[in-house]
Amino acid sequence: MSSTKFLLGALLGAAVGVQIGILVAPDKGENTRKKITKKGGEYFDDLTGKMNGFFDNLTKKVSDVSTEVDKLAKKAKAEVDKVSK
């Protein structure tokens, strides 16, 4: 989990840095607002894609563990049935 927190922190830090850079740059307010909106959308899309990948991977791992637990439970039940006969 710490690598996930680090990644989110790094992405947030980069996003804040870019936003500050845009605000400090000499340009019209309207152009600056458009740039901020565009970059914010890009970062949001990037972060959404990474989070979806993370949750897809997590879902697969949970499914794999669930399958393994089911196999072990069936094996244990078979052993109990075998011993009780």
What's the total number of domains in the chain? 1
End-to-end CA distance of the chain: 46
Its sign, for the CA torsion 43, 46, 47, 48, is: positive
pLDDT in tens, 1-44: 577 788 778 888 888 887 787 777 777 778 878 888 888 889 88
Host domain of residue 47? 2-84
pLDDT in tens, 47-76: 898 889 989 999 999 999 999 999 999 999
Cβ–Cβ < 8 Å for 43, 26 = no
